[in-house]
Amino acid sequence: MEPHPITGMYNGKFGIWLFLASEVMLFGALFSTYILLRVGAPEGTWPQHGADILNVPLAAFNTVVLIGSSVTMVMAWAYLKMKRIGMGQLFLAATFLLAGTFLVVKYFEYTEKFHHYAVFLNARMAVEGYEGQVTTISGHLAADSPALTRASNTGAYQAPEFVILEPDPPKGGGDHPPVVRIDGAQIKRLSDFGPRHSTFLATYFTMTGLHGLHIVGGMIVIGYFLATGSRFASHNLDKYANRIECTGLYWHFVDLVWIFLFPVLYLL
């Protein structure tokens, strides 16, 4: 499979580039959704920085991990080009592990959100430890707070007769305010910090979720080549190197998307 004079690429590589082109449009649509929703967000419904809600250090760590995986990926290809299959497979394995690390970190990020609750109140009320009156209180459910139930038709949490909340420290630091008991009648809406919480978190979960799926997809392919690679390489090294190059192109793109997701979702 010689590269074609017009594109300078063999079929597989050209195909991957085209596929990536469509991926650009896919994530492009999501980014423009993000901008649109943020610009049009009603007063106070969108956090000033993603960091007010999200965990920047973890994400920064993940950025490093993913960039690292990109390098190991391209290294794998380089060693195959140097006809050193063993090293190639080794770097491939490293890529696989780094990808796994990324997902594990993301898992912890997600679960943290699902155990963190926000109570949206019908009317402003004063809460000890916060200055002025607030319309929402966020925090963790106390052990003696009644178990939450979801409405069958909407899947949203039903307002219980009361909740006992351990509020977060007020914005700008300070220590944990005392536990508050909120009456069901005062509650307009109760949600964990999952996608239902707000359009910001909805966007966050959709974009990072889709990106996560891309990581999983990549891991499946890489895993496949880890398993079959050395046999494949032994009878057609060039072709195998090309397959790895194509996988790499996809993998670098996934990295590239994250390079934009990180500042946009977490830092701005």
Partner 1 sequence: MSHHEMSVEDVRKHVRVYLLVLAALMVLTAVTVGVFYLHLPIAAAVLVALAVASVKGTLVACYFMHLISERGLVFWILGLIAIFFAALMFLPVLTDMDSAGV
Partner 2 sequence: MSDHAHSHGDHDLPFWKKYVFSVDHKVIGVQYALTALVFLFFGFSLMMIMRWQLAYPGRPIPLIGAMLSGTLAADGVLVGDGYNILGAMHGTIMVFLGIVPLAVGGFGNFVLPLQIGAPDMAFPRLNMASYWVFFVGGVIMIGSMFTKTSGAGSGWTMYPPLAVTAAYGETIWLVGMVFLITSSLLGSVNFIVTTIQLRARGLSFFRLPFFVWAQLVTAFLLLLAFPPLEAAAALQLMDRVVGTSFFMPEGLVLSTVHLSHLSGGGNPVLWQHLFWFLAHPEVYVLILPGMGIIAEVIANNTRKPLWGYKSLVYSVIFLGFMSFIVWAHHMFMTGMGTTLSTFFQATTMIISVPSVIILTCLIISLYGAAIRFTVPMLFALAFLPMFAIGGLTGLPLGLTASDIQLHDTYYVIGHFHYVVAPGTIFAMFAGIYYWFPKATGRKMSDWLGKLHFWPSFIFINAVFMPMFFQGMAGVLRRQYDQTEQLAGAASHGLTLMSSWGAWLLALAQIPFIVNFFWSIWKGQRVSDNPWHATTLEWAAPSPPPHGNFPAVPVVYSGPYEYSVPGVSEDFCPQNVALEA
Cα separation values, 261 from 42, 173, 181, 204, 254, Å: 23, 27, 38, 9, 10
Q: Which does 64 bind (CB under 5 to 8 A by kind): partner 2, partner 1, none?
A: partner 1
153: Cβ contacts below 8 Å, ≥ 6 apart: none
DSSP state letter for 119: E
CA distances from 170 to 57, 88, 125, 131, 178 (A): 20, 51, 15, 9, 12
Q: How far is the CB of 12 from partner 1 (least distance, A)?
A: 13
CA quadruple 136, 137, 140, 144: dihedral positive or negative?
Answer: negative
> Quick one: which of 59, 57, 52 has its CA closest to 168?
52
Nearest to 222 by CA among 84, 92, 75, 72: 92
CB of 11: closest distance to partner 1 in angstroms?
Answer: 13
Interface residues with partner 2 (CB under 8 A)? 1, 4, 6-7, 11, 14-15, 18-19, 21-23, 25-30, 33, 36-37, 40-42, 45-46, 151, 154-156, 188-189, 191, 194-199, 202-203, 205-206, 210
**Minimum distance from CB of 112 to partner 1 (Å)?**
19
- Residue (160 or 170) nearer to partner 1, CB: 170
CA distance 119 to 239: 57
Residue 73 binds which one of partner 1, partner 2, none, with CB within 5 to 8 A depending on kind? Answer: partner 1
* Least spacing, CB of residue 177 vs partner 2, in Å: 24
- Contacts with partner 1 by CB under 8 A lie at 2-3, 6-10, 14, 17-18, 21, 24-25, 28-29, 31-32, 35-36, 39-40, 49, 51, 56, 60, 63-64, 67-68, 70-71, 73-75, 78, 81-83, 238, 241, 245, 248-249, 252-253, 255-256, 259-260, 262-264, 267-268
DSSP at 52: G
Return the number of the residue (21 or 123) whose C-beta is nearest partner 1: 21
